[in-house]
Amino acid sequence: TVIDIRATITASKATRYFQVRPGSDYAFNLAVIHELLKKRLYDEQYAGRYIEGLRELEQFIEAYSPEWAEAETGIAPAELRQFVSELVAAKGAVIWHPGWMTARYRDSFYVCRTAYIINALLGSFGAKGGMPLVSKPGDVGRADLKAFLDLYPKPADKRADGVGWRYTHFEEGPGLAHLMFEAMESQAPYPVKAYIAYRHDPLMGYPDPDRLRAIFNNLDLLVAVTFSWSDTAWFSDVVLPLSPYLERESVIATKNALKPQFFVRHRAIEPRYDSKADWEIVGGLAKRLGLPELVFDSIEDIWRFQLQDTGVSPGDFNATGMVNLTDKPIYRDMDKLKFKTPSGKLEIISQKLEKAGLPSLKPYESPETPPEGTFRLTFGRCAIHTQGHTVNNPLLYEQMPINPLWINSKAAAKLGISDGDTVVVTQRDYSETTVAKVTDLIHPEAVFIIHGFGHRLPVESRAFGKGIADQNFMRGGLDKWDRAGGAIAYQEHFVSVRKA
């Protein structure tokens, strides 16, 4: 089953496709939970053992019936109920995936959280055929890779993005870049004066690039580590050219899974130009900055460092690039299963969220209806291009030189737009041009484009001026983010469309 505003290739392979109203995913999930609880269709034995807070969930869900959800999602109650009956029939062997790239709407965190609640109600966590609980090397009696971070003490200063002190409910992971940009602008909690954009392009990947350029002007140094020209590289003080993936080897990484493994990338060919692998760039900077622990003479030295005490040698990767750490999948003993929560159960009410002033179960708010004559701007990726990095590649450009604007057939007819027409997309006083893809396979309230086009760099001669750049239609978008989950709400912007 696929739930989306647009019929993707995956939807074309699905047994069931629900074309929901943009921004109503949370309503759909709430109605599914309502049906499971009200009719006691959930796995009661599993819930009794592994879920805490079911009573609170039942009280919260009272108003969110399939009939209520129809007005929000456009999905008929009978269709939703039939779908729930199919889920129940496969109870335990269900994977409700919350979706990739969940930085969509202001309530995207709760869309994901309710998806996981549904998995729990169906007894899927830890079950064969359901949501697997992965194992780490230590779970199968093996040592993990030696970590580079362990070579240095954890920084004592507050993080610029506020994680850990201002935002106590976020996990301490790689960080939230848009909140770091906020710190660059405000100079609080301290001035941020240098930024290394490593293998990412914030001027194409984040909303409102003009505002970002103004923020970056507060820096003393902006460095881009990239394998292709990008807007950020063009704007940077220094560009460190990274070898493309076939020309570079990587450090070894761990894959936590039912069968945990180590994996590595070997260099297929020598670099054609003056570019370096990741480890060479990091090592070169470390040498100049007086960080000798990160300086290695060869990738083999790095691999040997990482593999200390693992019982694995670099040569073990030669056949496939992978080393399995166990012979068979490891499933948890359900009688001894405990989750990493204060209660050891799946907690409906999260004390971490509640202490941060955020509801564990957020009351539903209907998404904004596009103002008259406008559409919600949505975006996605494709199998041909890697975000915005490859549109100037001659072979890939030949396959897809422009990003057409998907527009619903009925909406297009009202505007006098036919398939293949050149259209002008506008937000306030800003416009760009592309071609229309007129189709029934997208919701009438939305238009859709593939991200990564609309390049304006003279060095990108093929891609120059081809298609539209969605980020340019997201002015003010750095301030539109999901307070519970932390991500930018990219699809909270509206555009108008007319025939050129």
pLDDT digits 0-9 by tens, 280-316: 999 999 999 999 999 999 999 999 999 999 999 999 9
Length of the chain: 500
Instruction: Name the segment(s) of the chain with CATH classification 2.40.40.20.
Output: 375-499
* Helical residues (DSSP H) of 347-432, grouped into ranges: 351-355, 394-399, 409-414
Tell me, what's the pLDDT at 173?
A: 83
Indicate whether 367 pLDDT > 90. yes
Q: If we measure between CA atoms, which residue out of 249, 247, 253 comes closest to residue 312?
A: 253
Residue 8 pLDDT level (bands cut at 50, 70, 90): very high
**Architecture (CATH level 2) of domain 2-132+332-355:** 3-Layer(aba) Sandwich (3.40)
Measured between alpha carbons, how far is 371 from 379 in angstroms, rounded to an integer?
19
CA distance 468 to 449: 8
Q: Give the model's pLDDT for residue 386.
A: 87
Question: CATH fold of 375-499, please?
Answer: Barwin-like endoglucanases (2.40.40)
**What tens digit of pLDDT does each residue of 453-470 get?**
999 999 999 999 999 999
Q: Decide if pLDDT at 31 tops 90.
A: yes
Look at residue 172 and tell me whether its pLDDT is greater than 90: no
pLDDT in tens, 33-78: 999 999 999 999 999 999 999 999 999 999 999 999 999 999 999 9
Query: DSSP for 88-156?
Result: HHTTTS------S---SSTTHHHHHHHHHHHHHHTT-BTSTTSB---B-GGGGT-PPPPPGGGGSPPP-
The total of other beta-carbon atoms located within 10 Å of residue 109's CB is 23
* Residue 374, phi-psi category: left (phi > 0), alpha (psi -120 to 50), beta (remainder): beta
Reported confidence tier of residue 122, pLDDT bands at 50, 70, 90: very high
Of the pLDDT bands very low, low, confident and very high (cuts 50, 70, 90), residue 103 is: confident
Angle, CA 415 vertex, CA 413 and CA 420 arms, to 5°: 70
Q: What HEC string does 407-424 produce?
A: EEHHHHHHCCCCCCCEEE
pLDDT at res. 174: 81
> Quick one: angle between helices 25-38 and 66-73, nearest 10?
170
Residue 467, number of CB atoms within 10 A of its CB: 23
336 band by pLDDT with thresholds 50, 70 and 90: confident
Which amino acid would we find at residue 408? Answer: N
| Per-residue confidence (pLDDT) for residue 41, from 0 to 100 | 98
For the chain, residues classed under CATH 3.40.228.10 are 2-132+332-355
**Averaged pLDDT for residues 360-388:** 94
The radius of gyration of the chain's CA atoms, rounded to the nearest angstrom, is: 25
Q: Is the pLDDT of residue 116 over 90?
A: yes
Type and span of the H or E element at 448: strand 446-450
The beta strands (E) that lie in 272-397 are given as: 322-324, 346-347, 375-380
What's residue 118's pLDDT? 98
Whether pLDDT at 353 is above 90: yes
pLDDT tens-place string over residues 310-333: 999 999 999 999 999 999 999 988
Give yes or no for residue 99 having a pLDDT over 90. Answer: no
